[in-house]
Amino acid sequence: MTRKNQLPGDAHWWRNAVVYQIYPRSFADANGDGIGDLNGIISRVDYLAALGIDAVWMSPFYPSALADGGYDVDDYMDVDPRIGTLEQFDTLVEKLHENGIRVFVDVVPNHSSDRHAWFQEALAAPKGSAARDRYIFRDGRGENGELPPSDLASHFGPEGWTRTADGQWYMHLFTKEQPDFNWDNPEVNQYFLDTLRFWSDRGVDGFRIDVAHALKKKLDRLPDRHSFALSVMKDDGSDPLFDRDEVHDVYRQWRAVFNEYDPPRVAVAEAWVHPNRRPPYASEDGLGQAFNFDLLASGWEVTQFKHVIADNLHSSAESGSSSTWVLSNHDVIRHATRLVIPGYGTSEDGFDIENQWYQNHRFDHGLDLDLGLRRAKAATLLMFALPGSSYIYQGEELGLHDVLDIPADQMQDPQWHRGEGKFKSRDGCRVPLPWEPTGSSFGFGPGGAHLPQPDWYAGVAVSVQEEDASSTLSLYRSALALRRKLYESDELEWVDLAPGLLAFRRSPKWISITNFTDEPIAITGEVLISSDEVVDGMLPGNSTAWLRSF
């Protein structure tokens, strides 16, 4: 079969790729309606090429009512008309490939949107029909079925069941606009195989799989559940909702589809599972790679970082895959802000401290944001020195802070609106990017921006940082160029230095040292790059340096 826009290359290109996540609605807006679009991304391909990344991952750009930022998909094989067209998508892939940049798209298989043709058909169809069997419909409890089928909450708030006009209920692990598919239905299974082929045929190189651990469910007894914390999830495959062993049957079929292509298509699983359960998602006959979010959940603390790195290198050795590293994405407070949030990284389940802090302190945060940025740059430089692939999120290369002061009535995130005051809003990391210091939307586009942009954007815009050799953007560009030159193998050897320093050797010539303390510490060796200036052999506190040898 002829493939459009094929980028040839070896089958292992992904193993140590640096992948840049684009949140399409907030990257660049070509037509001035305030919403980022494909033409906007096309106009910035040179920027992506200059950054030195290997691939982009695009969060959903499919038709959607945006009940959950696009993770509520109306049609898996089309582009939202507000974002562009399939032809523009082809042009974008072609332009990225011309620049040697691969493309991942997001696949959202656990749930569709309630506007999906299948869900609309299910609502119109009678109880027990084939149309309803593609989703999870059940009768309610109580005399007249007026009580939900089980006591199930959803991730973003109270109810995990919603009642339909004829009295039946459907399950949704996220918002009520995101009905869960029934993955025991063969049509659902086939639909996603078709979706993977549809995008692969258009030249897409890889897929990011949303909530990859949730597809298969065991619903003979309907689960009651109020918490989705990892500590509540079973770690042996027996949980009724998550991480069941059967899910890997699905991914084995997906792998067969990926292998129809040359080079084989690749995938990365978003699987919030116990660390001992991660390897199968990343295995060669499964999706091939799985996100590890442990760095993203770590506080700025040397032993935590060291354990996370050691554990994940061990786990990737077990699956035969490479490690993945993530410090920011579209779901968390940007790391330049997060790394100074008091207590961050000390909770078992990662995010409750951040959520509480956000609720109570976002308007009077009192954070030392300069320190946050120094730590963020140090953490990033450390991450780029690690074996495996790094996933970075749009705007982190500008050192952006989270936008903490978005007025509640301008928030879009359902987690905020449905969360009954328990969760942070994810809008603060989704604010349209600043490309210029002035203009109606700081160069995001000729019009406005769909979320309010802060005044401080003027100082951190792309065009400002491009002129400044000491900017965060310049650091990212230089570090990525250097990484390409220095990366020889996946070996990592720990080097013991002073307490508070985390150091490892990546090749005879390449050593990375991070100073987690607040005081400068003496180091020896030729500095190749550093996140903060090394003066007289002293590595400043909260910084990382790469050395040639010492």
- Footprint on this chain of ligand NOJ (rule: CB under 6 A): 68-69, 71, 108, 174, 210-211, 270, 330-331
31, interface contact from ligand NOJ, Ca ion, none, CB < 5-8 Å by kind: Ca ion
Under the binding rule (CB under 5 A), the answer on residue 29 touching Ca ion is yes
Under the binding rule (CB under 5 A), the answer on residue 490 touching Ca ion is no
What's the alpha-carbon Rg for the chain, to the nearest Å? 23
3-state secondary structure at position 290: strand
Among 7, 16, 26, 37, binds Ca ion (CB under 5 A): 37
Task: Select which of 54, 74, 210, 331 is catalytic.
Answer: 210
Among 31, 91, 99, 517, binds Ca ion (CB under 5 A): 31
- Rank residues 349 and 436 by Cβ distance to Ca ion and give the closer one: 436
Question: From CA 439, how far away is CA 448, in angstroms rounded?
Answer: 9
Tokens of 543: 């910084």
CA atoms within 13 A on the CB side of 244: 17
Instruction: Confirm if 241 and 219 have CB atoms less than 8 A apart.
Output: no
Query: Which residue number has the CB closest to ligand NOJ?
Result: 71
Give 56's DSSP letter: E
Which range touches Ca ion (CB under 5 A), out of 31-39, 56-64, 237-245, 492-500?
31-39
Q: Is 249 a catalytic residue?
A: no
37, interface contact from Ca ion, ligand NOJ, none, CB < 5-8 Å by kind: Ca ion
* Nearest Cα residue to 381 out of 304, 465, 430, 325: 325
Which range touches Ca ion (CB under 5 A), out of 25-33, 132-140, 242-250, 508-516?
25-33
- Rank residues 122 and 214 by Cβ distance to ligand NOJ and give the closer one: 214
Under the binding rule (CB under 5 A), the answer on residue 35 touching Ca ion is yes
CB of 317 to ligand NOJ, least distance (A): 27
- Rank residues 440 and 517 by Cβ distance to Ca ion and give the closer one: 440
For 124, 252, 524, the CA distances from 94, given in Å and listed in that order, are: 41, 29, 46
Which range touches Ca ion (CB under 5 A), out of 37-45, 112-120, 293-301, 517-525?
37-45
Burial class, 443, CB count within 10 angstroms (exposed 0-12 / middle 13-18 / buried 19+):
buried
35, interface contact from Ca ion, ligand NOJ, none, CB < 5-8 Å by kind: Ca ion
20, interface contact from Ca ion, ligand NOJ, none, CB < 5-8 Å by kind: none
Q: Which residues, at least 6 apart from 479, have a Cβ–Cβ distance to it below 8 Å?
A: 380, 381, 384, 529, 546
Task: Select which of 260, 285, 368, 493 is catalytic.
Answer: 260
3-state secondary structure at position 9: coil
78, interface contact from ligand NOJ, Ca ion, none, CB < 5-8 Å by kind: none
**104-113 b/e (C-beta count within 10 Å ≥ 16 → b):** bbbbbbbbbb
Q: Is 260 a catalytic residue?
A: yes
- Rank residues 273 and 373 by Cβ distance to ligand NOJ and give the closer one: 273
- Rank residues 300 and 393 by Cβ distance to ligand NOJ and give the closer one: 393
Planar angle of CA 269, 270, 276, nearest 5 degrees: 80
Q: What's the residue count for the chain?
A: 550
Sign of the torsion formed by the C-alpha atoms of 226, 228, 233 and 237: positive
- Rank residues 296 and 385 by Cβ distance to ligand NOJ and give the closer one: 296
Number of residues this chain uses to bind Ca ion (CB under 5 A)? 5
331, interface contact from Ca ion, ligand NOJ, none, CB < 5-8 Å by kind: ligand NOJ
CB of 378 to ligand NOJ, least distance (A): 26
Per DSSP, the residues of 479-541 read HHHHHHHH---S--EEE--STTEEEEEEETTEEEEEE-SSS-EE--S-EEEESS--BTTEE-T
Under the binding rule (CB under 5 A), the answer on residue 66 touching Ca ion is no
Q: Which residues, at least 6 apart from 123, have a Cβ–Cβ distance to it below 8 Å?
A: 164, 165
Question: From CA 494, how far away is CA 62, in angstroms rounded?
Answer: 44
Under the binding rule (CB under 5 A), the answer on residue 48 touching Ca ion is no
CB of 29 to Ca ion, least distance (A): 4
Question: From CA 266, how far away is CA 244, in angstroms rounded?
Answer: 22
- Rank residues 326 and 502 by Cβ distance to ligand NOJ and give the closer one: 326
Which range touches Ca ion (CB under 5 A), out of 28-36, 51-59, 66-74, 132-140?
28-36
3-state secondary structure at position 340: coil
Q: What are the catalytic residues?
A: 210, 260
Chain residues that interact with Ca ion, rule: CB under 5 A:
29, 31, 33, 35, 37
